[in-house]
Chain A
Amino acid sequence: MTETTVAPTIDLVDPGSFRAGHPHEMYRWLREHDPVHWHEEPNGPGFWAVMGYDDVRAVGRDAETYSSVPTIAISDAEIFEVDNHQMMLMMDPPRHTRYRRLLNHRFTPRAAGRLRTRIEELTRLIVDQVIERGECDLVTDIAGELPSYVVAELLGLPLDDGRRLYELTEIIHTAPGALPEGAQAAAVGEMFAYASGVIADKRARPSDDLSSLLLQSEVDGCPLDDIDFNLFFLLLVDAGGDTTRNLVAGGMLALFDHPDQRARLQADPDGLLPTAVEEMLRWVSPVVYMRRTALRDTELGGRPITAGQKVVMYYGSADRDAAAFADPDRFDVARTPNEHVAFGGGGPHFCLGAHVARIEIEAMFRELLGRLPDMELAGPVEWLPSNFISGPKHVPVQFTSGRPLG
């Protein structure tokens, strides 16, 4: 482990801190010196930044102490509520359990496995679209295409609509100030208008997709209303979108940076892809943080937490904790065990789409390593300026061109 002696400037709120990916120097210093760190907040009361693996898991798994209400964003300004309805992400049990149960059975390993063939077709299609060009942007042309197609498939929408919905989530996630005033509200409006069209369409012609399932669902004996549906719709499009994209693009960057590991994986994809996917998840940890709010006075890592205070779990830091991972800064495509917290530390909000994501990532890398085996960087990497979602925004790549499989 590298011993950091001089304290770096700690700022986990400034999006600039994330402009080259996770600020691992800050993370490491905090884990070693102040693992439950009181962090000031420019326009708020401040929060506890939880950096260590065991503490992150303890918070994530204790919804009775650490609540997801009113929001999982650090800033209370990001409380997202429509007419007294909330997203499942911002609910606590038992209400959360009643909503999650509507969809959970469609995301089990077995249910996810039924999507594998279709996901593999989509990854072939995505590579077909770029293979003749010999160059592309790994993020927008490859990594971003996959989740937008898969989400469209799950919700029963045309693939091209999935792409537009995905663009809308990008706008919704962009740091305020980087876009013209009102652009984000307009994007939410367009998303909800689209969802309303889906409601009409799926009520008239129900099918086997998640949209139809939700529209036929009841919570406590009452059918989901249109606002509930819209919030579910936004959550599914959003949660399955940039996370998967960043994992694919960030995972490929990790392979570029570790040619020995890439050669090893390319020599034995069948044997190593499953562990390589987990290692990419640990390494990239696309979700930077989730916030909870303490419901009672408690203690964490020796620090006193007061009821009402914000407690923020930093997954990218927990996933490099030497107390949980041997040689944590080594990227090892065969690492095992690898109980990373990229999907959350366990608890009621454990990533619903984890199994679908694993299938997507594995299928995409199988396709990329097999058909574009000499892909390499062709220009500077640009990162998302976000303190919430970590990943590259643009990754220009080049490769020997080939023929589409059709």
Chain B
Amino acid sequence: MRVSVDPDLCESNGVCVSIAPELFALGDDDLEPAQVLRDPLPDDWRDRAERAVRSCPKQAIRLE
């Protein structure tokens, strides 16, 4: 299972970071899209990842 962030959609709202700080981070530059910290995704993190996917205001996170 892999998580990815579409850099064209992401506007760094940081909702994913507040839901799963161990999985997503924002870069030093405010304009940088969110980064995925764990790839591939550990199986037991799937719930959190799915919540982040559902909560992203821009629907920029994909789980596949």
In the assembled complex, the Cα of A101 lies from the Cα of B26 at a distance in Å of: 16
**Contacting pair B57 A348 (CB below 8 A):** yes
Which interface residue of B17, B30, B31, B57 has the most chain A CB atoms within 10 A? Answer: B57
| Interface 1/0 per residue, A84-111 and B, CB below 8 Å | 0000000000000000110011101111
Contacts of B19 in A (CB 8 A): 337, 339
**Contacting pair B13 A354 (CB below 8 A):** yes
Identify B26's interface contact among A110, A339, A344, A346, CB under 8 A.
Answer: A110
Chain B residues numbered 9-39 whose CB sits less than 8 Å from any CB in chain A: 11-15, 17-19, 26, 28, 30-31
Check A61 for interface membership: any CB of B closer than 8 A: yes
Check A116 for interface membership: any CB of B closer than 8 A: no
Given contacts A337-B51, A339-B51, contact A108 B12 (CB under 8 A): yes
| Interface 1/0 per residue, A326-348 and B, CB below 8 Å | 00000000000101000010111
Contacts of B51 in A (CB 8 A): 337, 339
| Interface 1/0 per residue, A107-151 and B, CB below 8 Å | 011110000000000000000000000000000000000000000
In the assembled complex, the Cα of A106 lies from the Cα of B54 at a distance in Å of: 24
**Contacting pair B17 A109 (CB below 8 A):** yes
The interface size of chain A toward B, counting residues with CB under 8 Å, comes to 19
In the assembled complex, the Cα of A339 lies from the Cα of B55 at a distance in Å of: 8
Identify A105's interface contact among B12, B17, B57, CB under 8 A.
Answer: B12
**Contacting pair A104 B59 (CB below 8 A):** no
Contacts of B46 in A (CB 8 A): none
CB-nearest residue of chain B to A345: B57
Check B58 for interface membership: any CB of A closer than 8 A: yes
**Contacting pair A109 B18 (CB below 8 A):** yes
**Contacting pair B59 A61 (CB below 8 A):** yes
Check A256 for interface membership: any CB of B closer than 8 A: no
**Contacting pair A348 B26 (CB below 8 A):** no
**Contacting pair A346 B55 (CB below 8 A):** yes
**Contacting pair A108 B26 (CB below 8 A):** yes
**Contacting pair B14 A105 (CB below 8 A):** no
Given contacts A108-B26, A110-B26, contact A344 B12 (CB under 8 A): no
**Contacting pair A106 B30 (CB below 8 A):** yes
Contacts of A104 in B (CB 8 A): 11-13
Check B56 for interface membership: any CB of A closer than 8 A: yes
Further contacts, 12 of them, CB under 8 A, given A111-B30, A350-B13 = A104-B11, A104-B13, A106-B30, A108-B26, A109-B17, A337-B19, A337-B51, A339-B54, A346-B54, A346-B57, A346-B59, A355-B14
- Which residues of B does A touch, CB under 8 Å? 11-15, 17-19, 26, 28, 30-31, 51, 54-59
28 contacts between A and B (CB under 8 A): A61-B57, A100-B11, A104-B11, A104-B12, A105-B12, A105-B30, A105-B31, A106-B30, A108-B12, A108-B13, A108-B26, A108-B30, A109-B14, A109-B17, A110-B14, A110-B28, A337-B19, A337-B51, A339-B51, A346-B15, A346-B55, A346-B56, A346-B57, A347-B57, A348-B57, A350-B57, A354-B13, A355-B14
The 10 closest A-B pairs by CB, nearest first: A350-B57, A109-B14, A105-B30, A108-B12, A346-B57, A105-B31, A104-B11, A108-B30, A111-B30, A110-B26
